[in-house]
């Protein structure tokens, strides 16, 4: 009888103290903590606005980028980031026009966290692009 009373007392103490076991414990379901809700997915970023805002970060300022175009934004293969491609016609330091340059952007929480020149595996060549219009 004492053993049963002590077990009941221990169980009551745990419940009153707010101690709950994780969702994978052996305790009955009503005593386990609930699974945490998955985080809400981040809304797709506004890539043209980010490109206009961070133009000097993407392209060297002396290259005078023009005819800016961006691809559609996509979820990154790994993690919770987004990727997009941006391309522009640029000018060499000497003033001579260069071929169109394409960069792959990685975006997370509304910020460009990585920028690198696009390579064949990025699929930037096969993307459909839309012009980035200047703000008024």
Residues 20 and 67 both lie in one domain: no
Residues 118 and 67 both lie in one domain: yes
Q: Do 122 and 56 have their domain in common? A: yes
Question: Can you give the pTM of this predicted structure?
Answer: 0.68
In a domain, 98, yes or no: yes
Count of the separate structural domains present in the chain: 2
Q: 15 lies in a domain?
A: yes
Do both 7 and 57 map to the same domain? Answer: no
Containing domain of residue 25, as a range?
2-31
Is the domain of 11 the same as that of 64? no
Contact indicator for 98, 91 with CB cutoff of 8 Å = yes
Length of the chain as a residue count: 136
**pLDDT at residue 20 is higher than 60:** no
Give phi and psi for 23, each to the nearest 5. -70, -10
* Burial class of residue 24 (count of CB atoms within 10 Å of its CB; 0-12, 13-18, 19+): exposed
38 in a domain, yes or no?
no
Three-state DSSP class for residue 72: coil
pLDDT tens digits along 48-72? 999 999 998 998 878 889 899 999 9
Model pLDDT for residues 83-92, shown as the tens digit of each residue: 999 999 999 8
């Amino acid at each position: 009888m004492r053993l049963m009373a002590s077990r009941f007392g221990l169980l009551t103490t745990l419940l009153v103290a707010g101690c709950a076991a994780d969702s994978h414990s052996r305790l009955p379901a009503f005593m386990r903590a609930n699974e945490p809700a998955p985080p809400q997915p981040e809304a797709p970023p506004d890539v043209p606005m980010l490109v206009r805002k961070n133009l000097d970060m993407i392209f060297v300022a002396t290259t005078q980028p023009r005819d800016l175009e961006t691809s559609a934004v996509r979820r990154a293969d790994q993690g919770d980031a987004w990727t997009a491609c941006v391309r522009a016609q640029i000018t060499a330091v000497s003033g001579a026009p260069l071929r169109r340059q394409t960069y792959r952007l990685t975006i997370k929480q509304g910020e460009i966290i990585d920028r690198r020149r696009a390579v064949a595996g990025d699929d930037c060549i096969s993307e459909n692009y839309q012009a980035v219009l200047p703000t008024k």
